[in-house]
Amino acid sequence: MGGKAPLVTVEGLRVTAGGGRSVIVDDVSFSIARGEVVALIGESGSGKTTIALALMGYARAGCTIAGGRVRVGGVEPIGLAPAALARLRGRTVSYIAQSAAAAFNPAQRIMAQVVENALIHRLRSRAAAEARARALFRALALPDPDGVGALFPHQVSGGQLQRLMAAMALITDPALVILDEPTTALDVTTQIEVLRAFKRVVREQGTTALYVSHDLSVVAQMADRIIVLRDGVVQESAPAAQLLTAPAHPYTRSLLAAAAPAPRQAVALPAGAAPLLRVSGLVAGYGPPDARGLPAVPVLHDIAFSIAPGSVLGVVGESGCGKSTLAQVIAGLLPAARGSITLDGEALAPRAAGRTREQLRRVQIVFQMADMALNPAHSVRRILARPLQFYHGLRDAALARRVAALLDMVRLPQALADRLPAGLSGGQKQRLNLARALAAEPALILCDEVTSALDTVVGAAILDLLAELRRELGVAYLFISHDISTIRALCDQVMILYAGRCVERGGRQVMQMAPMHPYTDLLLSSVPELRPGWLDGMSATHLAEAAGGLTRAAARLACPFQPRCAVRLEDVCDRVPPPVQPLSKGASILCHRGEAELLRAQATAAPLHASAD
């Protein structure tokens, strides 16, 4: 890259908000050479998107570009006349955002939207633009590249839409492409295809790109150089391989540590203790029940597991596999159609209204969206006081003391007690949610993606808190996540769901041991690793499996994974329900293939996830 003049130079960029009172980006300088992919990485609020937008001469409402120079291919976007700015944004720089769905008009066919920019800027005739779009669809590995343009946005999957948005951005052959968290909203298995498609296109077209992300492992696959941001200030900037292996700045080191969370100290459980919660034969779903009492939209199929007192069961699976549904069934928010749930050996009524107050107290639920789980009209104090009054009948001084103790327990400052939830940060809201659950003094907390909406560092702090509360109070968790590394960090037992079926269940160690269920294998190998080159080294088997995705038709097969599975048995797996088989490593799987066959298949596929833990 040495000799070429940089395409982008940023010098001393400074962006302020609130009329100059707070500085969002402070004295940021960097450059991007032609054909280089530079990553901006940092927690939310570190100013990544603000910098990316400044490259297009744009500042969000309330923000002002207060100083510094930006040059993109000989143009200075800051202070450019509107017409020239429109030209810059349409042709020279293009932007791929986190949510593709928001970038598409649901009422227009995809092709018309993809070529629109090329037509507006009179770069190509319609026919030429459409031909170029089809070539891009092919390069982005979209299924049916010639036909996909005729569809409407809702007819393609999220991962496909994300790639179509990339085609939309690349149609003008921009000099610079900005990718702002383009895969953050996707499942790991979907993310792989999208990342690979981006990478191939960037390489083939020699695109210069700025890749904005909070995920170091993803960035490690894409970037030549990484810039680490914190509170709007550059902490470190180095070639990717160097930054990942020999980070110079302490903040980079803490990011690296949070990206690969260490297992939290395990707790010795009394062997042979009677299970706290036992679930068996659970079938649940949404919609009115049919003649046999089964729901119109079945979600969970024949789920069985148990949780020992003080232990943690992790539930993993891709979006829509039924994880939240499971938590709601256990909490009594959604009555199950079949099956039983027992708590301490006592059967629980399907609905919360049919359970005793004591049963309700012992099982608490904490939701993913911390801000949606807090009533915006209630103060922190009121939120914590209610379960104390409701379950324990506390009043006056005793109540105030207990509220204060709970705030301490989750490390929230006492001064927050009279605030409304809107005045708390994301991490504080999640702590408050936990504190509310703890107020009941439960035996089991159902944690539905409690760290997913948080930054890695804040999420790691919540994980520490969960581990500590478990050690000190002996609470058990049903810990739901789509992120395998958090599951590994906290859980004793793991359950893997696919299309509402429990495909594998076992202790946390066995999750890394072959053989495993074919889906477990795919899921684990789809988790990005911090090592550059991980993406390019993925086995062809896993790539083919990752490309499939669950379809509506597949969900009705005896084994819904069958169309994607590399070791499927034709005419068996799609018709005969697979049996539950114990494996010698101590797990059980739902599969027709035997242990030896799976072992052989997974040995040749050369699993790459051996390095984890």
Ligand X SMILES: Nc1ncnc2c1ncn2[C@@H]1O[C@H](COP(=O)(O)OP(=O)(O)OP(=O)(O)O)[C@@H](O)[C@H]1O
Residue numbers of the site for ligand X (CB under 6 A)?
286, 297, 299, 317, 319-325, 482
Asked whether position 369 contacts another protein by CB under 8 A, the answer is yes
Look at residues 59, 88, 87 and name the one whose alpha carbon lies nearest to residue 71.
88
Q: Which is nearer to another protein, 375 or 551 (CB)?
A: 375
Q: Which is nearer to Mg ion, 36 or 318 (CB)?
A: 318
- Determine contact, residues 197/141, Cβ cutoff 8 Å: yes
Q: Which does 482 bind (CB under 5 to 8 A by kind): another protein, Mg ion, ligand SF4, none?
A: none
In whole angstroms, what is the distance from residue 112 CA to residue 280 CA?
51
**Angle, CA 336 vertex, CA 333 and CA 339 arms, to 5°:** 140
- Determine contact, residues 102/185, Cβ cutoff 8 Å: no
- Determine contact, residues 213/456, Cβ cutoff 8 Å: no
Among 201, 313, 337, 360, indicate the residue that binds another protein (CB under 8 A): 360
Q: Which is nearer to ligand SF4, 119 or 572 (CB)?
A: 572
Asked whether position 506 contacts ligand SF4 by CB under 6 A, the answer is no
The two structure tokens encoding residue 291: 């003649």
In whole angstroms, what is the distance from residue 510 CA to residue 22 CA?
49
Asked whether position 389 contacts another protein by CB under 8 A, the answer is no
Q: Which is nearer to Mg ion, 160 or 324 (CB)?
A: 324
Asked whether position 554 contacts ligand SF4 by CB under 6 A, the answer is no
In whole angstroms, what is the distance from residue 417 CA to residue 112 CA?
53
In the complex, least distance from residue 463 CB atom to another protein, rounded to whole angstroms: 21
Residue number, nearest CB to Mg ion: 324
Residue 399 region, left (φ>0) first, then alpha (ψ -120 to 50), else beta? alpha
Look at residues 306, 305, 304, 285 and name the one whose alpha carbon lies nearest to residue 296.
285
Among the residue ranges 84-92, 176-184, 531-539, 562-570, the one whose residues contact ligand SF4 (CB under 6 A):
562-570
In whole angstroms, what is the distance from residue 296 CA to residue 287 CA?
5
Among 328, 493, 525, 562, indicate the residue that binds ligand SF4 (CB under 6 A): 562
Asked whether position 499 contacts ligand SF4 by CB under 6 A, the answer is no
Q: Which does 196 bind (CB under 5 to 8 A by kind): ligand X, ligand SF4, another protein, none?
A: none
Q: Which does 378 bind (CB under 5 to 8 A by kind): Mg ion, another protein, ligand X, none?
A: another protein
Q: Which does 506 bind (CB under 5 to 8 A by kind): ligand X, ligand SF4, another protein, none?
A: none
In whole angstroms, what is the distance from residue 477 CA to residue 313 CA?
6
Among 332, 500, 528, 560, indicate the residue that binds another protein (CB under 8 A): 332
Binders of ligand SF4 among residues 308 to 327 (CB under 6 A) are none
Among 151, 257, 569, 599, indicate the residue that binds ligand SF4 (CB under 6 A): 569
Among the residue ranges 105-113, 355-363, 370-378, 567-575, the one whose residues contact ligand SF4 (CB under 6 A):
567-575
Among the residue ranges 74-82, 180-188, 310-318, 585-593, the one whose residues contact ligand SF4 (CB under 6 A):
585-593
Q: Which is nearer to another protein, 372 or 398 (CB)?
A: 372
The residue length of the chain stands at 613
Q: Which is nearer to another protein, 37 or 466 (CB)?
A: 466
The number of residues that bind Mg ion (CB under 5 A) is: 1
Asked whether position 324 contacts Mg ion by CB under 5 A, the answer is yes
Which residue shows structure tokens 């001064």?
415
Q: What is the largest CA-CA distance in the chain?
A: 76
Residue 281 region, left (φ>0) first, then alpha (ψ -120 to 50), else beta? left
In whole angstroms, what is the distance from residue 171 CA to residue 438 CA?
53
Asked whether position 518 contacts ligand SF4 by CB under 6 A, the answer is yes
Q: Which is nearer to ligand SF4, 137 or 519 (CB)?
A: 519
In the complex, least distance from residue 176 CB atom to ligand X, rounded to whole angstroms: 33
- Determine contact, residues 526/191, Cβ cutoff 8 Å: yes
Q: Which does 567 bind (CB under 5 to 8 A by kind): ligand X, Mg ion, ligand SF4, none?
A: ligand SF4
What is the per-residue DSSP string for 129-193? HHHHHHHHHHHTT-SSTTTGGGS-GGGS-HHHHHHHHHHHHHTT--SEEEEESTTTTS-HHHHHH
In whole angstroms, what is the distance from residue 418 CA to residue 534 CA?
49
In the complex, least distance from residue 296 CB atom to ligand SF4, rounded to whole angstroms: 25
Residue 68 region, left (φ>0) first, then alpha (ψ -120 to 50), else beta? left
Q: Which is nearer to ligand X, 320 or 548 (CB)?
A: 320
Q: Which does 320 bind (CB under 5 to 8 A by kind): another protein, Mg ion, ligand X, none?
A: ligand X
Q: Which is nearer to ligand X, 325 or 456 (CB)?
A: 325
Neighbour count for residue 508 (Cβ, 10 Å): 19
Residues that bind ligand SF4 (CB under 6 A): 518, 559, 561-562, 565, 567-569, 573, 578, 591-593
